[in-house]
Chain A
Amino acid sequence: MGQRRRHDPDRGSEPPAVTTTQPPAPDDPSVPPPAAAQGVTPLRVKAAPRPGTWISAVIVALLVLGLVSFLVTNPVLEWGTVATYLLDVKVIQGVGWTLLLTLLSMVLGTVVALTAAIMRRSDNPVLRGVSWAYIFVFRGIPVYTQLVFWGLFTVIVPKIVVGVPFGPELLSFSTRDLLTAFWAAVIGLGLNEGAYLAEIIRSGLNSVDKGQTEASKALGMSNGRILRRIIVPQAMRVIVPPLGNETIGMLKTTSLVLAVPFTLDLTFATNGIANKLFTPIPLLIVAALWYLAITSVLMVGQHYLERHFGRGFDARTPARGGGRRSRQAAVNSAGTTPQNPLPEVEL
């Protein structure tokens, strides 16, 4: 046993003499372990030989080099054309429309999803049922099919009439004037996205401890305020990371809006140029570079959102579960309380 420990570099670097002198810190997991006591010389350690690490690194590096040289030297990729069209007006406009489509459809999707998620939690069976049916339909039909449908919406529903059911008409307008291809694309993408986000948001809302609702109720807060002020802000911490993923997914899904047809987005713009020049490959690279660039910007935004909604939580996470158990162990060992200090602990 002792022999094995001496050969183990991880354990050997931390002599037992140092660990036993550390004072216990049961209630504060955020405190870093104290530095080695003064006068203690750490063991001098030589790392174990790891030939596999070096061999695999060389192989992978060679493969990457080969790929880079292929990308640079392959004439079919036409990097000159890529450079010419990377900042073309049509391409930049396409980037703008793609961004606008992404953001608007995500906003619509989030609003719809939050509504659907709250309806799913409702006591009202009608609201629960409608929410379930919405998720079932819009998650179950391919987004391409849905986009074609929204493109044909003005044919299916030419006129919208506001009035008393079976009574007089108050307002009537033609859908053709309202539902342009752009808005049809936003609604199509947004409603599809909402069905996915609804499940994400629902699990986020469910992740908030029930005690939060009880404490808010005990303060006399109304259900709406509890949701808005207490539950949703805490759920956001859980919701934002998958929401970021969904936004990046949406960025790429916008390339399907030609189904509507909406013809100004990045993919359609680069395809149009490619068809004119008979050079599809460099313009695919142009589109790919722009999608990557936008994704990078979105990732930065996600980072800040996560930081905003994570405030107050960071130090808490390690204290949960394990922290409470060790605290209980400390209580028991201290022996200052009755035999059974927690007869009615909620589990």
Chain B
Amino acid sequence: MTNTPEQTRAVIAVEDVHKMFGDLHVLKGCDLVVSAGEVAVLVGPSGSGKSTLLRCINQLEEPTAGRVLVDGEVQGYRPEPLPDGRWQKLSSAQIAVQRSRIGMVFQRFHLFPHLTALGNVMEAPVQVRGLSKAAAEEKARTLLERVGLADRADHYPSELSGGQQQRVAIARALAMDPELMLFDEPTSALDPELVSEVLAVLKDLAADGMTMVVVTHEMGFAREVADQVVFMDEGRILERGTPEEVIDHPRSERLKGFLASVL
């Protein structure tokens, strides 16, 4: 880990990341820096590579080229290349440790259907961190209370609404005390009237100083909460800046066209 004296320590540094799926060039050299406590919102049309970029940060996708640093630590490889120039991959156990520091929330929740809300939140602290059941339960109940679901602890995911499921998923990610949180379209699968309850939890987290990267189409949320709005199109980052710069004063025709279609 690096010890940068400035307050704006880079928690995430994505450096010239490319991703190919076969012949399909999904990411064409993306750079992204997110500082501690910063909220970065990725926007862009369908297929622009937002989700892929997000998934590269916690190694659900492996970049074809470029590197991702989290807290100054190269993700997926030893810090230095081998003498012959190749990068030594980390073992799956080492990758799991890197992932455990990054919380992720999915579009379709992916709660564990065979466990209750409480069981979902307790699972990783007990299995990965080795927390005692009692300590994990106490923590899980606190987190469920934080997302407003203390009374739903013993419900199975199938007994919860979409918004409640997504809030349990956020609590599950928070249970690992992550240094940063990734949100992959957290409200896209929700009924419109359930979107606000999930966004409220995100805003609460942002206000608490959590470092966050959010892929979303909620431009209102981006305007209100984002420190940095990043516009992606066809695998490239075309524009980035404050919400005022990007949403209110778009420069490229692509972004103007995109904003016209979503606003």
Contact = CB atoms under 8 A, between A and B. Distances in A.
Interface of A: 26-28, 209, 211-212, 214-223, 225, 229-230, 233-234, 237, 309, 311-316, 319, 324, 327, 330-331, 334, 336-346
Interface string B100-121: 1111101110111111100000
A221 B124 contact: yes
Contact of B99 (A26, A220, A342, A346): A220
Contacts of B191: 26-27, 327, 330-331
Given A212-B110, A331-B191, A344-B47, A218 B104 contact: yes
B51 A313 contact: no
Contacts of B113: 234, 312-313, 316
B88 interface: no
Interface in B7-57: 45-47, 50-51
A234 B115 CA distance: 10
A343 B111 CA distance: 22
Contacts, number: 130
A220 B162 contact: no
Contacts of A237: 114
Top 4 closest pairs, chain A to chain B, by CB? A220-B100, A343-B46, A316-B158, A312-B156
Nearest to A336: B192
Contacts of B124: 219-221
Contact of A315 (B111, B158, B169): B158
B192 A215 contact: no
Given A26-B191, A220-B176, A331-B191, A346 B123 contact: no
A223 B95 CA distance: 11
Contact of B93 (A27, A222, A334): A222
B109 to A, nearest CB: 8
B100 A219 contact: yes
Contacts of A215: 104, 106, 110-112, 169
Contact of B157 (A316, A343, A345): A316
A205 B143 CA distance: 31
Interface in B197-242: 217, 219
A345 B188 contact: yes
A346 B100 contact: no
B92 A222 contact: yes
B97 to A, nearest CB: 6
A340 B261 contact: yes
A291 B51 CA distance: 57
B108 to A, nearest CB: 6
Interface string B124-161: 10011000000000000000000000000000111101
A154 to B, nearest CB: 43
